[in-house]
Amino acid sequence: MPLRVYNTLTRQKEDFQTVIPGKVGMYLCGPTVYKPAHIGHMVGPVIFDTVKRYLTYSGYEVKWIVNITDVDDKLINRARESGTTVEALAKQMTQDYFDNLATMGIAIGRDGIDQTPYATQHIPEMLDMIQRLIDKGYAYPLDGDVYFDVTKDADYGALSNRRLDELIAGSRVEASDRKRHPADFALWKASKPGEPSWDSPWGPGRPGWHIECSAMSLKHIGETLDIHGGGLDLMFPHHENELAQSESCTEKKFARYWLHNGLMQAGSAAGKVGGGHDRHGDLAEKEAQEAGKIAGSKGAASVKELFEKFPPETIRFFLLATHYRSPIQFSDENIAETGKSIEGFYRLFETYSRITGHDFYSLPIAKTRAGTSPLPDQPAEFISAVKSFRDRFLDAMDDDFNTGGAVGVLFELRKVVNGFIADQKLESTGKSNTTALATLTSAVTQLKELANLLGVFIKPLPKQAAGADDGFAGELMNLILELRAEARTTKNWPMSDKIRDRLKELKVIVEDRPDGVTWRQG
RNA sequence: GGCGCUGUAGCCAAGUGGCUAAGGCAGCGGAUUGCAAAUCCGCCAUCCUCGGUUCGACUCCGAGCAGCGCCUCCA
C-alpha cells in the first residue's frame, strides 16, 4: 500500500510524492522559547519524529528542521518581568526544550531533528525576503514597520478556509491602525527602546512573527517543502501567513503537504477554564486559560514535572496511541492507564531474556523496510500470524501515519508471541529447544523493529536497570527469596505466602516459575 | 457571529457501504499454579438522536443534540 497523507490544504488524503524522489524535506514549527515546555509542546516533536522514523524506514532520506523562535513579544515581556535579558531567557528555555526532547527520545542530528535554526541568526535572510516582497508589491513599509498586503494574494485564506471579508469582522480594528487592510500582518516591526533591534532599510526593528519560518525553511530546505507540520492552533494565522509570504516571494508552491496535529486537551476542568470567550482581559485570566488547555485548572505542569510521575516512554506511547490529527485528552489517569497497558511488553522482554539468555534491547534490527530481518517458516500458523501483523502495522502507518492502529497491532503481535512461548513450553523446556528459540528470536526481533518505528522499546527503562543491579537491596532480596525457597521445599506454605504477601505490600512482586523465582518492583 | 473538529462497550481507542466493528484497561468464566503472579483460551458494543439516499449504513447526505478547537503572536 502506498503512503497516503492527509493534507490540510486540500482536506483529503493524497498519495505521498516528494519534490525530489527519495528525499523528504520536512519543516516543523518549533517553540517560542519564553517559558518551560509543557506536555503540549512535545506532541508535535513526538509525532514528526515518528513520521521521520517511518519515512526513513520506507527508504526516504529525510531532512527535518525544527526552528527556535528566540525573538518575540512574549519573550520580550517575559524577560522584562523576570528581570533578565531576552538572550538569557531564550538560551535557558531553549536548553529546557532540548532536554525535554532528549528525554522523549528525540535526537538532535541525523536520527532525529537534523537542524534547529534560530530566528535571530537569520535576520539577513528575513530582510532579503521582506525586500523582495516589497519589490514585488506584496508588502509596504509604514513608519518603520513593514506589512504584508493580504489583498495582493488571491489565495489568502485557502489553508484555513477563511475569507478576507470574514476576517474583518473578527479582527480588532484599532483607530491608530493604519494598515491598508485589517488582516495585513507585520513582516517587520519597528523596535521600541529597550527591545532587541536590528538595522534594516526601514529603520531599526525586529522580525514579525511569521517571517522567520518562511526564511529559515527556504534556506534550510528550499522553495518547496515536502511536509510542513505544526499544531492545529498554528493553522491561522501563522501558517496562512507563512504560506502567503513564501509563495508571493518565490512564486513556487510552499509546501506539498500540510500536516496539522491535534492539540492536547485537559480533563474535565478544561471546558470551564479554557472555554468560552472571557472578556476579562487581565493576564492572570489569560494564563489560566492557557493552562486549562493542557493541564486542567490546577495549572500547566511542565514536562519536567510530568517526567517525575511517568516514564517518558509511557508518555510517548500515550501520545501515539491516538491518531495525530485527533485531540488527546490529557489526564494523569489516562497516562497511568497507558503505563499499565504496556506493562505486558516489559514482561515479555523479561521473559524473552530469561529463556533465551539474550537481551531484548540488544537485538539488532533492520533500518529499512526492504532490509527487514527474515523469518523462518517453521510453525506456519505462528509465522503467518507474525507476518500478517507486520503487514497490518505497516498498512496502518501508510494510512496517514495511523499510529493508533499500529499500536493495536503491536499488542496483537505481543499476544501471539506469548502464545508461542506457552505452546512450546519454552519457560520449562528451557534452552534445549533451539529451533523454537530461534523462531522466538526472529518474531521478537520483528516486534522490536516495528516498535522502533514508534520510537519505543529502544532502551531499557532506568527502573528496570536499577532492579537488576547487584546492590544491597538485591542481596537482601536474594536472602529473603532463599529463605522463602527453603520454606517452600518443606511445604511451609503459610510462611512462604506470608513472605510473598509482605513483599507485595512493599511493592515487590514475586513470581514462581517452572525454572525459578523472579521478582520485580511494581 | 464566522470557520472547523469530535460523538464507537464502564473507561481509553482503531476501523469499514454488506464478511466475526481492531486493540488496551477494568470485569467475568476456564487452563496453568500448593495458593498466587505472569501467561494462554473464552465472554463482554450494533457504533449520539431523527430523517434521507441505497438491495443494504455505524460507515454517504441533511437536520438536531452534546462536547471541543480556532477566529485573541498558545505546539
Nucleotides of B under 7 A from a protein CB: 1-6, 11-16, 22-26, 33-41, 67-75
Q: How far apart are CA A6 and CA A399, in angstroms?
A: 9
State if pTM tops 0.90: yes
* H or E element, residue A43: helix A40-57
Q: Is the CB of A312 under 7 A from strand B?
A: no
Nearest nucleotide over every DNA/RNA strand to the A161 CA, judged by C1': B3
Other beta carbons less than 10 A from residue A14's beta carbon: 15
Q: How far is the CA of A53 from the C1' of B45 (A)?
A: 35
Taking a C-beta distance cutoff of 8 angstroms, is the pair A448, A455 a contact? Answer: no
Query: For chain A, what percent of residues have pLDDT higher than 70?
Result: 89
C-beta within 7 A of nucleic chain B, residues 219-238 of A: 230-237
- As given in the structure block, the three cell numbers for residue A370 are 526492504
Burial track A327-348 (b if 16+ CB lie within 10 A, e otherwise): ebebbeeebeebbeebeebbeb
Between the alpha carbon of residue A159 and those of residues A24, A218, A254, A438, the distances in Å are 21, 19, 12, 52
Q: Is the CB of A263 under 7 A from strand B?
A: yes
Contacts of A238 (CB under 8 A, 6+ apart): A29, A209, A210, A213, A230
Q: How far is the CA of A410 from the C1' of B58 (A)?
A: 26
Reference A118, options A27, A212, A239, A231; nearest CA is A212
Contacts of A34 (CB under 8 A, 6+ apart): A72, A74, A75, A78, A79, A89, A90, A93
Distance of CA A364 to the CA centre of its chain: 24
Q: How far apart are CA A274 and CA A138, in angstroms?
A: 37
Q: Is the CB of A516 under 7 A from strand B?
A: no
Nearest nucleotide over every DNA/RNA strand to the A416 CA, judged by C1': B40
- Average pLDDT in chain A: 88
Q: How far apart are CA A451 and CA A446, in angstroms?
A: 9
Nearest nucleotide over every DNA/RNA strand to the A396 CA, judged by C1': B14
Nearest nucleotide over every DNA/RNA strand to the A492 CA, judged by C1': B34
Q: How far is the CA of A37 from the C1' of B72 (A)?
A: 21
C-beta within 7 A of nucleic chain B, residues 12-41 of A: 29-32, 40-41
- For residue A286, the model assigns a pLDDT of 34
> DSSP per residue over A141-153, as a string?
EETTEEEE-GGG-
> Span A123-142, mean pLDDT?
96
pLDDT at residue A406 greater than cutoff 60: yes
Is the bond preceding A237 in cis, omega lying within 30 degrees of 0? yes
More confident residue, A297 or A24: A24
pLDDT at residue A296 greater than cutoff 50: no
Q: What is the pLDDT of residues A111-122, one digit of tens each?
A: 999 999 999 999
- For residue A277, the model assigns a pLDDT of 26
Tell me the pLDDT band of A389, cut-offs 50, 70 and 90.
very high
- As given in the structure block, the three cell numbers for residue A203 are 529603520
C-beta within 7 A of nucleic chain B, residues 451-510 of A: 488, 493, 496-497, 500, 509-510
Q: What is the pLDDT of residues A459-501, one digit of tens each?
A: 998 765 445 556 788 889 999 999 999 999 999 999 999 999 9
Q: Is the CB of A326 under 7 A from strand B?
A: yes
- As given in the structure block, the three cell numbers for residue A252 are 513556487
Distance of CA A96 to the CA centre of its chain: 16
Q: Is the CB of A277 under 7 A from strand B?
A: yes
Q: How far apart are CA A3 and CA A130, in angstroms?
A: 36
Q: How far is the CA of A84 from the C1' of B8 (A)?
A: 51
Taking a C-beta distance cutoff of 8 angstroms, is the pair A393, A410 a contact? Answer: yes
Q: Is the CB of A72 under 7 A from strand B?
A: yes
- Residue closest to B23 C1′ by Cα: A408
Q: How far is the CA of A8 from the C1' of B45 (A)?
A: 32
Cα A271–Cα A276–Cα A282 angle in degrees, nearest 5:
105
Most confident of A1-15, A170-184, A439-453: A439-453
Helix axes A86-103 and A73-81, enclosed angle (nearest 10): 110
Q: How far is the CA of A327 from the C1' of B9 (A)?
A: 21
Task: Estimate the share of chain A in helix, then strand, then coil, as percent rounded to the nearest 5.
Answer: 50, 15, 35
In sequence order, the β-bridge partners of residue A415 are none
Q: What is the pLDDT of residues A421-462, one digit of tens each?
A: 999 999 887 677 899 999 999 999 999 999 999 999 999 987
Which of A57-61, A287-291, A434-438 shows the lowest per-residue confidence on average (mean pLDDT)? A287-291
- For residue A433, the model assigns a pLDDT of 87
pLDDT at residue A30 greater than cutoff 90: yes
Q: Is the CB of A512 under 7 A from strand B?
A: yes
Q: Is the CB of A328 under 7 A from strand B?
A: yes
Taking a C-beta distance cutoff of 8 angstroms, is the pair A205, A191 a contact? Answer: yes
pLDDT at residue A507 greater than cutoff 80: yes
Q: What is the pLDDT of residues A207-260, one digit of tens each?
A: 999 999 999 999 999 999 999 999 998 998 999 999 999 999 999 999 999 999
